[in-house]
Amino acid sequence: MQLTIFESKEELALNFARHFIQIIADNNELHVALSGGSTPGIVFQALAERYASGVDWSKVHIYWGDERAVPPTDVESNYKMAFETLLGRVLVPEQQIHRIRGEEPPEEEAMRYSRVLRENLPLTHGIPQFDLVLLGMGDDGHTASIFPDKIKLWYATENCVVARHPESGQERVSITGKLINNAREVAFLVTGSNKAQKVREVIRKEEGYDRYPASLVAPHTGALRWYLDWEAASGLISA
């Protein structure tokens, strides 16, 4: 595991954007799963502002780690956020953008998207393999849309499952731990003081840490990189 702490969200975003562009340069094609959330959103902005040109975006195949059960025009849609901050501003070929269809019945879409992943991603040990998975972490320790109250979904045998936000009840489609831990690289993008306690518990594996889905992210052979700002890392500094 590699952990890097940045002065600000903006510095984190610029550094991760640079890393992302290097991965594109180093690969003939890149299969990446995007995340929802405010920190990923800042990263997408930085990518579009700095790297819309001069990068071969035709190498990139875009997927999502999770999506809310809403239409792509809904303010809650992870696709809408990614399109407005990044995908509407860079030249990723449309047929390489594999949206989770939040407007479809979630159970049907989870099955359809499981097939999309199986048919479009390279397989290792029969499991679809992303080159890169971006993750955020909720202040409850959830990641993608696997929440602590239904942590067993992490261990599902399917590629995708239907999850439900524990407070709002909003349904989601989410990839499972099987895919996340099969990735060549996983990047946690976490900022804000409200995450500090969970970051500390998860990174330091403190008592009870394994009840948080974020603590289960441990790529079998791939790299795990935490990108934190000082606020989110503040719990790691104190004794």
By CB under 6 A, name the binding residues for ligand 6PG. Answer: 35-39, 66, 78, 136-138, 142-145
- What sign has the CA pseudo-torsion 105, 84, 135, 129? positive
Q: How far is the CB of 120 from ligand 6PG (least distance, A)?
A: 20
Between 143 and 182, CB nearer to ligand 6PG: 143
The residue with its CB nearest to ligand 6PG is 136
Nearest to 228 by CA among 24, 1, 3: 3
Q: How far is the CB of 144 from ligand 6PG (least distance, A)?
A: 5
Between 55 and 230, CB nearer to ligand 6PG: 230
Between 36 and 128, CB nearer to ligand 6PG: 36
- The CB density around residue 161, as the number of other CB atoms within 10 Å, is 24
Q: Is 15 exposed, middle or buried (0-12, 13-18, 19+ CB in 10 A)?
A: middle
Q: How far is the CB of 138 from ligand 6PG (least distance, A)?
A: 4
Between 35 and 85, CB nearer to ligand 6PG: 35
Q: How far is the CB of 184 from ligand 6PG (least distance, A)?
A: 20
Q: How far is the CB of 173 from ligand 6PG (least distance, A)?
A: 10
Please check whether residue 176 is in contact with residue 155, taking contact to mean a CB–CB distance below 8 angstroms. yes
The structure tokens listed for 153 are 């979904």
SS3 category, 10: helix
Q: Alpha-carbon dihedral of residues 34, 40, 46, 48, nearest 10 degrees?
A: 30
Between 129 and 174, CB nearer to ligand 6PG: 174
